[in-house]
Amino acid sequence: MKSLFDLTGRTILVTGGSRGIGFAMGAALARHGATVVLNGRNEAKLEDKARELRAEGLEAETAVFDVNNEAAARSAMDKIVNKHGHLFGLINNAGIQHRSPILAFTTADFERVVSTNLTSCFTLSREAIALMSEHGSGRIINTVSMLGSQARPTVPAYIAAKEGLRALTRALAVEAGPKGILVNAIAPGYIATEMNNALITDKKFSDWIVSKTPLQRWGEPHELGGGAIYLMSEAGAFVNGHVLAIDGGMSVQV
Ligand code: GCO
């Protein structure tokens, strides 16, 4: 009896896949049978991480492109389809952060964050939906954030983009659903990743995060893997337009 969580035969592109949450999701998917294609901008780093998974006997490939480059992204997806016959899944995980008091936050910085964290998710999803529609099936997961409906100072672009990505998830879910494509989101809490190093090493801030999280700790990247497996598997075959919080309960604590 095939497990509900068996991803064998499913090829899944993970953007921002060379480290942190993206690599953790990719590794989890590969360990459940998927062929993962890790995306990033640094070819050497990507190859190292894909080699790490292949050393476990897993199916891992790389696709080097900047998610802001539509043509490069579409070309990478076409290559996946030409090699594997189907792009089953896309995880729009690539994201950047910029922290600054609002009065010093430039328009260029705001637009840069929104471009990577929101606009690129739209363009990659549109291209993926075009390819997935030919098969009548597919899955998209957007990495959003606990931040959005809740906020903290100095990260306005990130909050706006990630909340917009929640809304985009719902918009795509209703339009792609009739094509057999499910679109969902995962909302991490505060996870111990490179992007958050500055926060983790700031004892005052880190203590505050721990106090605001019912599990009283930072999350670990590997703790995002199960959610990705669920939403990419048969177990998630009727889940569409959902935002899965993986935040230790932080989003429900006052
Ligand atoms: C920050 C952090 C957050 C986390 C995460 C929280 O500066 O507050 O980078 O944005 O990364 O998004 O859910």
CATH number of domain containing 129: 3.40.50.720
Q: What is the mean pLDDT of residues 64-93?
A: 98
Mean pLDDT of 87-92: 99
Task: Give the bridge partners for 187, in sequence order.
Answer: 245
Domain-located, residue 214: no
Rounded mean pLDDT, 232-238:
98
Residues 6+ apart with CB under 8 A from 99: 154, 155, 198
The count of other CB atoms within 10 Å of the CB of residue 75 is 14
Tell me, yes or no, whether 187 lies in a domain: yes
Ligand 1 site, residue 155, Cβ cutoff 6 A: yes
Cβ-contact 87, 80 below 8 angstroms = yes
Yes or no: say if 114 and 163 are a contact pair by the CB < 8 Å rule. Answer: no
Is 119 within the bounds of a domain?
yes
Ligand 1 atom at shortest distance from the alpha carbon of 159: 10
230 is catalytic: no
- Is residue 213 pLDDT above 90, yes or no? yes
Asked whether residue 125 is domain-assigned, the answer is yes
Q: Calculate how far, in angstroms, residue 144's C-alpha sits from the geometric centre of ligand 1.
A: 10
Give the position, in ligand 1's atom list, of the atom nearest the Cα of 152. 8
147 lines ligand 1 (CB under 6 A): yes
The number of CA neighbours under 13 Å toward the Cβ of 86 is 17
- For the chain, how many structural domains are there in total? 1
Instruction: Point out the ligand 1 atom lying closest to the alpha carbon of residue 154.
Output: 7
Asked if residue 188 has its Cβ within 6 Å of ligand 1, the reply is yes
Averaged confidence pLDDT in the chain: 98
* Residue owning tokens 């959610």: 227
Identify the CA nearest to 184 among candidates 133, 128, 243. 243
From 97, 210, 250, mutation site for ligand 1 pocket: most ligand atoms within 8 A of C-beta? 97
Alpha carbon 204 to its chain centroid, in Å, reads 28
Phi, psi of 181 (to 5 degrees): -110, 125
Q: Is the CB of 227 under 6 A from ligand 1?
A: no
Q: Is residue 254 part of a domain?
A: no
Please indicate, yes or no, if residue 159 is contained in any of the structural domains.
yes
Contact 4, 235 (CB under 8 A): yes
Check whether 1 has a pLDDT greater than 90.
Answer: no
Mutate to test the pocket of ligand 1, among 196, 208, 250 (most ligand atoms within 8 A of CB): 196
Q: pLDDT tier at 246 (50, 70, 90 boundaries)?
A: very high
Model confidence, pTM: 0.98
Catalytic residue among 23, 65, 88, 158: 158
208 part of a folded domain? no
- Give the range of the structural domain holding residue 162, as residue numbers without chain letter: 2-192+222-245
What is residue 2's predicted lDDT score, i.e. its pLDDT? 87
Q: pLDDT by residue (tens digit) across 91-124? A: 999 999 999 999 999 999 999 999 999 999 999 9
Does residue 170 sit within a domain?
yes
Residues 6+ away with beta carbon under 8 Å from 95: 16, 116, 117, 143, 158, 162, 195
Among residues 152, 140, 117, 157, which one has the least CA distance to residue 243? 140
